[in-house]
Structure 1
Amino acid sequence: MAAAEVSILRDAVIYLGAAVVCVPIATRLGLGSVLGYLIAGCAIGPWGLAFISDVESILHFSEFGVVLMLFLIGLELDPKRLWSMRRPVFGGGGLQMLTCGAALSGALYYLGLPWQGAIAAGMALALSSTAIAVQTMAERNLLAAPVGRSGFSVLLFQDIAAIPLIALIPLLGVVEDSGEPLWVGAGKVIGAIAAVIVIGVLITPRLMRLIALSRVREIFTAFALLLVIGIAQLMSLAGLSMALGAFLAGVLLASSEYRHALETDIAPFKGLLLGLFFIAVGMSIDFGLVFAQPQMLAILVVGLVTIKALLLALIAPVLDVAKQQRWLFAALLAQAGEFAFVIFGVARQARVLPGDWEALLTAAVAISMAITPLMVLAHEKLAARRASKQSREYDKIDDSDGASVIIIGFGRYGQIVGRLLFAQGITATVLDHDPDQIDMLRRFGFKVFYGDATRIDMLEAAGAAKAKLAVVTVDSLADSLAVVDVLQKEFPHLKIVACARNVRHWFELVERGLDKVERETFESALRTGRQALEALGVEPYEAREVADLFRRHNLAALQELRPHFHDEAKTVALEKSGQRQLEENLRRDREMREARRKAEGWH
Structure 2
Amino acid sequence: MTDFLILAFVFLVAGVISVPIASRFGLGSVLGYLIAGVAISPILSGLNVDVVGVQHFAEFGVVMMLFLVGLELEPKMLWSMRQRLLGLGGLQVGLTTVLVMGAAMLLGLSWNVALAAGVLLSLSSTAIVLQTLSEKGLLRSDGGQASFSVLLFQDIAVIPILALLPLLALPELAGVAGDIASHGAHSGAEEGGSLSLVEDLQGWQAALVTIAAIAVVIAGGFYLTRPIFRYVAMANLREVFVATALLFVIGIALLMTLVGLSPALGTFLAGVVLANSEYRHELESDIDPFRGLLLGLFFITVGAAINFELLLANLGVTLLLTIGLIAIKLFVLLVLAHLFRLKGSAKWLFGLSMAQAGEFGFVLISFTVANHVLPQAIADQLLLVVAMSMVLTPALFIVYSQVIQPRLASKDELPVDEIAEKRPIIIAGHGRFGGVINNMMRTAGYKTTVLDYSSAQLEMLRTYGLRVFFGDATRPDLLLAAGIAEARLFIVAIDQREAATELVRHVRKHHPKVRIVARAVNRHHVYELYAAGAHHIIRDTFDSAVRAGRSAWEELGIPKDKAEEMAQDFVKEDKQVLRELAEHYDPTVPAHENTEYINRARELISKRDQ
TM, length-normalised to structure 1: 0.71
Choose which of 292, 300, 308 in structure 1 pairs with 2:321: 300
Contact 1:45/1:53 (<8 A) preserved: no
Choose which of 100, 107, 115 in structure 1 pairs with 2:103: 107
Give, in whole Å, the separation in 2 of the partners of 1:352 and 1:204.
Answer: 42
Tell me the matched-pair count. Answer: 486
Match of 1:140 in 2: 136
Match of 1:444 in 2: 481
Pairs within 5 Å for 1:162-561: 162-173=158-169, 180-183=200-203, 185-383=206-404, 386=407, 409-411=428-430, 434=454, 436-438=470-472, 441=478, 444=481, 454=496, 471-473=517-519, 483-484=521-522, 487=525, 497=536, 506-508=543-545, 558-561=548-551
SS of residue paired to 1:254: coil
Distance 1:387 1:105, change over 3 A: closer
Match of 1:585 in 2: none
Query: CA RMSD, aligned part only?
Result: 4.0
Distance 1:416 1:182, change over 3 A: closer
SS of residue paired to 1:45: helix
Match of 2:579 in 1: none
* 1:385-432 deviation line (CA, Å, top 9, x unaligned): 6359869x99xxxxxxxxxxxx995338769999xxxxxxxxxxx997
Contact 1:408/1:453 (<8 A) preserved: no
By how many angstroms is 1:26 displaced? 0.4
Choose which of 31, 36, 42 in structure 2 pairs with 1:35: 31
* 1:505-558 deviation line (CA, Å, top 9, x unaligned): 7335x5xxxxxxxxxxxxxxxxxxxxxxxxxxxxxxxxxxxxxxxxxxxxxx65
Worse-matched range after superposition: 95-104 or 200-209 = 200-209
By how many angstroms is 1:301 displaced? 0.4
Give, in whole Å, the separation in 2 of the partners of 1:125 and 1:292.
Answer: 22
Worse-matched range after superposition: 238-247 or 268-277 = 238-247
Distance 1:261 1:390, change over 3 A: closer
SS of residue paired to 2:376: coil
Letter in 2 for 1:381: Q
Letter in 2 for 1:18: A
By how many angstroms is 1:337 displaced? 0.9
Give, in whole Å, the separation in 2 of the partners of 1:310 and 1:159.
Answer: 22
Give, in whole Å, the separation in 1 of the partners of 2:25 and 2:111.
Answer: 43
Match of 1:402 in 2: none
Distance 1:506 1:89, change over 3 A: farther
By how many angstroms is 1:284 displaced? 1.2
Distance 1:506 1:304, change over 3 A: farther
Choose which of 130, 137, 144 in structure 1 pairs with 2:126: 130
By how many angstroms is 1:381 displaced? 1.9
Q: Tell me, which stretches of 5 or more residues in structure 1 are unaligned?
A: 395-406, 419-429, 474-479, 511-556, 565-569, 583-603
By how many angstroms is 1:325 displaced? 2.5
Worse-matched range after superposition: 292-301 or 176-185 = 176-185
Contact 2:434/2:494 (<8 A) preserved: no
By how many angstroms is 1:434 displaced? 4.4
Give, in whole Å, the separation in 1 of the partners of 2:356 and 2:272.
Answer: 26
By how many angstroms is 1:452 displaced? 9.2
Choose which of 93, 117, 120 in structure 2 pairs with 1:121: 117
Give, in whole Å, the separation in 2 of the partners of 1:275 and 1:50.
Answer: 22
Give, in whole Å, the separation in 1 of the partners of 2:405 and 2:17.
Answer: 30
SS of residue paired to 1:312: helix
Give, in whole Å, the separation in 2 of the partners of 1:470 and 1:61.
Answer: 51
Contact 1:24/1:33 (<8 A) preserved: yes
Distance 1:297 1:505, change over 3 A: farther
Contact 1:408/1:472 (<8 A) preserved: no
Give, in whole Å, the separation in 1 of the partners of 2:526 and 2:550.
Answer: 25
Letter in 1 for 2:318: L
Give, in whole Å, the separation in 2 of the partners of 1:390 and 1:181.
Answer: 58
Worse-matched range after superposition: 323-332 or 25-34 = 323-332
Distance 1:489 1:117, change over 3 A: farther
* 1:434-465 deviation line (CA, Å, top 9, x unaligned): 485228935825789x999657699579859x
SS of residue paired to 1:444: helix
Give, in whole Å, the separation in 1 of the partners of 2:360 and 2:94.
Answer: 17
Give, in whole Å, the separation in 2 of the partners of 1:40 and 1:258.
Answer: 36
Distance 1:163 1:304, change over 3 A: same
Q: Tell me, which stretches of 5 or more residues in structure 2 are unaligned?
A: 182-192, 194-198, 416-425, 439-449, 456-469, 485-489, 565-610
SS of residue paired to 2:109: coil
Contact 2:51/2:305 (<8 A) preserved: yes
* 1:238-269 deviation line (CA, Å, top 9, x unaligned): 22211112112212222222111111111111
Distance 1:317 1:27, change over 3 A: same
Contact 1:470/1:494 (<8 A) preserved: no
SS of residue paired to 2:429: coil
By how many angstroms is 1:47 displaced? 8.2
Contact 1:47/1:286 (<8 A) preserved: no
Match of 2:420 in 1: none
Give, in whole Å, the separation in 2 of the partners of 1:39 and 1:31.
Answer: 11
SS of residue paired to 2:522: helix
Contact 1:92/1:318 (<8 A) preserved: no
Give, in whole Å, the separation in 2 of the partners of 1:354 and 1:304.
Answer: 20
Contact 1:431/1:453 (<8 A) preserved: no
Contact 2:330/2:352 (<8 A) preserved: yes
Letter in 1 for 2:213: A
Q: Identity of counterpart residues, as a percentage?
A: 41
* 1:18-74 deviation line (CA, Å, top 9, x unaligned): 111000000111110000000001111148885663101110110010010011111
Choose which of 55, 58, 61 in structure 1 pairs with 2:57: 61
By how many angstroms is 1:168 displaced? 1.8
* 1:117-160 deviation line (CA, Å, top 9, x unaligned): 21122121111111111111111111121111111111111111
By how many angstroms is 1:318 displaced? 3.2
Match of 1:10 in 2: 6
Give, in whole Å, the separation in 2 of the partners of 1:119 and 1:382.
Answer: 35
* 1:344-393 deviation line (CA, Å, top 9, x unaligned): 111111211113111111111111111111111112222366359869x9
Pairs within 5 Å for 1:64-103: 64-103=60-99
Worse-matched range after superposition: 44-53 or 343-352 = 44-53
Give, in whole Å, the separation in 1 of the partners of 2:5 and 2:533.
Answer: 48
Choose which of 149, 171, 185 in structure 2 pairs with 1:153: 149
Distance 1:432 1:498, change over 3 A: farther
TM, length-normalised to structure 2: 0.70
By how many angstroms is 1:328 displaced? 1.9
* 1:261-298 deviation line (CA, Å, top 9, x unaligned): 11111111111111111111111111211111122211
Contact 2:504/2:529 (<8 A) preserved: no
By how many angstroms is 1:305 displaced? 0.4
Letter in 2 for 1:561: S
Give, in whole Å, the separation in 2 of the partners of 1:51 and 1:458.
Answer: 51
Give, in whole Å, the separation in 2 of the partners of 1:500 and 1:491.
Answer: 11
SS of residue paired to 2:373: coil
Give, in whole Å, the separation in 2 of the partners of 1:217 and 1:416.
Answer: 32
